Amino acid sequence: MALKKVQVGDISCGEDALFLISGPCVIEDESIMMQTAEKLKEVSERLGIQVIYKSSFQKDNRSSLDYYQGPGLDEGLKILARIKAEFGFPLLTDIHSADQAAAAAEVIDVLQIPAYLCMQTSLTVAAAKTGRVVNLKHGQFLAPENMKHPVKKIEASGNNQIILTERGYTFGYNDLIVDPRSFYHLNQMGYPVVFDVTHAIRKYGIPSADAKGGAREFLPTLARAGVASGVDGLFVETHPNPEAALCDAASQLCVTDLEEFLKPLLEIHTVVRRYT
């Protein structure tokens, strides 16, 4: 099936080149955000991979009120706008309620619908009506072929600028599994498909700061399998010091390790596109 090309800044998602969505899980101190952006710029230029900078102004699904939830909409958008102005990255962030959509769309290029919220009609419609690209994350409770339902809600709202992101399906308790058939099902909907590999290794129910809350050793294997399955983009949360990150500390990749992590994936992607 021919994919609809989705334009994000200068990036044509769904073309032959693999693209990357990357950045800290949640917006932290501005120096951390800028340090990450600087390193991502270096990796982008050296490897020739185009980057969409991702970070959340709010994490609304933390398992405890004691955990950091982000700086909020206004301050978060200010920091992201500075990154865009200085480094030229298009931006992606989550929205959690319909009333955040319009304000976020003034700064953000891609509005992301969190996996837990992918079936929320008011949220998906509000995001669609901004005219921005919408990144729909596959809910871990939903068969991949049933992602056609939120897709149709966005299309019916007059927006066909959609990206679909896989991040694993609930398997037993507190664990996720990535089924390559999901990439096929999502691809059949006609939009670019992204693999969120760092969320796929999260161990749910375990605090994200606990080393047992993620399984980084599986990142290369899963990422290579996803790229070999023909995804159009990768979603890799990165941080200068993951162990000290304020969210998803056990699953983010150190940004200084990103270049070597990506090199074999770009080679695999080249081979896949040559023979498909």
pLDDT of residue 210: 63
pLDDT digits (tens, 9 = 90+) for 186-242: 999 999 999 999 999 987 766 655 656 778 999 999 999 999 999 999 999 999 999
Extents of the domains making up the chain: 8-274
What percent of the chain shows pLDDT beyond 70? 96
pLDDT digits (tens, 9 = 90+) for 253-273: 999 999 999 999 999 999 999
The arithmetic mean of pLDDT across residues 57-69, rounded, is: 82
Q: Pick from 222, 179, 175, 224: which is nearest to 198 by CA?
A: 222
CATH code for the structural domain at 8-274? 3.20.20.70
